Amino acid sequence: MRVAILGFGTVGQGVYETLRSHRAHMSNLLGEELEVVGILIQDGSKEREIDASTLVTTNYEKLLQLQVDVVIEAIVGQQPAYHYLVQAIKSGAHVVTANKVMFAHYGQSLLNLAAQHNVQVGYEATTAGGTPIIRTLQHLLKVNQVSKLEAILNGTSNYMLTEMAVHHLSFEEALQQAQQKGYAELDPSNDINGDDAFYKAMILSRLAFGMQPNWNDVYKEGIERITLADIQQEAKRGRAIKHVATIEIREDIPRVSVQPVFLDESHPLYRVDGVNNAITIHTDLLDNITITGPGAGKLPTASAIVEDLVHCFKQQHVVPTMV
């Protein structure tokens, strides 16, 4: 299997390191040799620890000329990511992405194009890092009817709220600690204002219910206004403040909100702490099922991408779908 990686930031490096360290195991699993044949970078002047046999280039066209089997996209923003994946699919390559913003906008378009070209699209890493939400939902939807999803989708926000509750840190102290540990970017706005969770919720809405709501109708609120006093007050009432995306179908229309909520001990998301993500899926046959796992960090995201890579390769003759 010939693999190309687009982007060599935190996620791209994590994928490369994982594929290199697990190369023998992956090759045995796939039944053929796995090779990272090319990596697309933005700045060609930087030195990177990459095998000499791997093409490192700023020219995407050169990567496609390598007869790539799978393209892993780990760059930021809608473009040129979408354009690159369209080209990859048309060339006959499977694609795997961790780009939630791009996939929230163009996911269905990519899946439709992939169906036409008989290739797979993996997008587990777009929603919850190392928590296998996408494939779990795809499996449940074969038999169960899903009526509602409740999810903690941003590991940074969850980590900050946990530190404020457990160690009595102020919002500013919790944010600084998250940045020091690498859980938050220098500009943390997308994490703390709810944008990150919003895009993930749009992806899950499309998967669970076959459609997204009008984005302007979604109520979105971040955690910026939550204080230590708020958390301590709710703790006295036996409640925790969590940043939760709620996605449900009412009158055949998906309704979505992304906001801080008060949860008591009976709620399955009450004890989801640290950088963990979680989702509670309300179904007709299984009742409620909750999945929890790491949602922030280089390796959890890399794990989801590599799992997708294997799944795409093994399911290459299955028509991709979101419903």
101 and 143 share a domain? no
94 and 176 share a domain? no
Residue among 200, 220, 236, 242 flagged as catalytic:
200
Of 10, 15, 6, 5, the residue nearest 304 (C-alpha): 15
Query: Does 320 reside within a domain?
Result: no
The CA distance from 198 to 134, in Å, is 16
12 is in an annotated binding site: yes
The predicted structure's pLDDT at residue 296: 64
122 is in an annotated binding site: no
Query: pLDDT by residue for the chain (323 residues), tens digit each?
Result: 899 999 998 889 999 999 998 888 888 888 888 899 999 998 877 888 898 899 999 999 999 999 999 999 999 889 999 999 999 999 999 999 999 999 999 999 999 999 999 999 999 999 987 788 898 888 888 888 899 999 999 999 999 999 999 999 999 999 999 999 988 888 999 999 999 999 999 999 999 999 999 999 999 999 999 999 999 999 999 999 999 999 999 888 999 999 999 999 999 999 999 999 999 999 988 889 999 988 766 788 888 899 899 888 777 644 444 44
107 and 179 share a domain? no
Which helix (H) or strand (E) segment holds residue 246: the answer is strand 239-250
Q: Is 142 a catalytic residue?
A: no
The predicted structure's pLDDT at residue 312: 83
155 and 281 share a domain? yes
The CA distance from 11 to 134, in Å, is 19
The predicted structure's pLDDT at residue 135: 87
The predicted structure's pLDDT at residue 320: 44
Q: How far is CA 191 from the centre of its chain?
A: 13
**Overall domain count for the chain:** 2
145 and 278 share a domain? yes
100 is in an annotated binding site: yes
The predicted structure's pLDDT at residue 80: 95
240 and 137 share a domain? yes
185 is in an annotated binding site: yes
The domain of 83 spans 2-129+299-314
58 and 148 share a domain? no
125 and 137 share a domain? no
61 and 125 share a domain? yes
8 and 61 share a domain? yes
- CB atoms < 10 A from the CB of 286, how many? 12
The CA distance from 171 to 305, in Å, is 32
What are the residues facing 39 on neighbouring strands? 5, 56
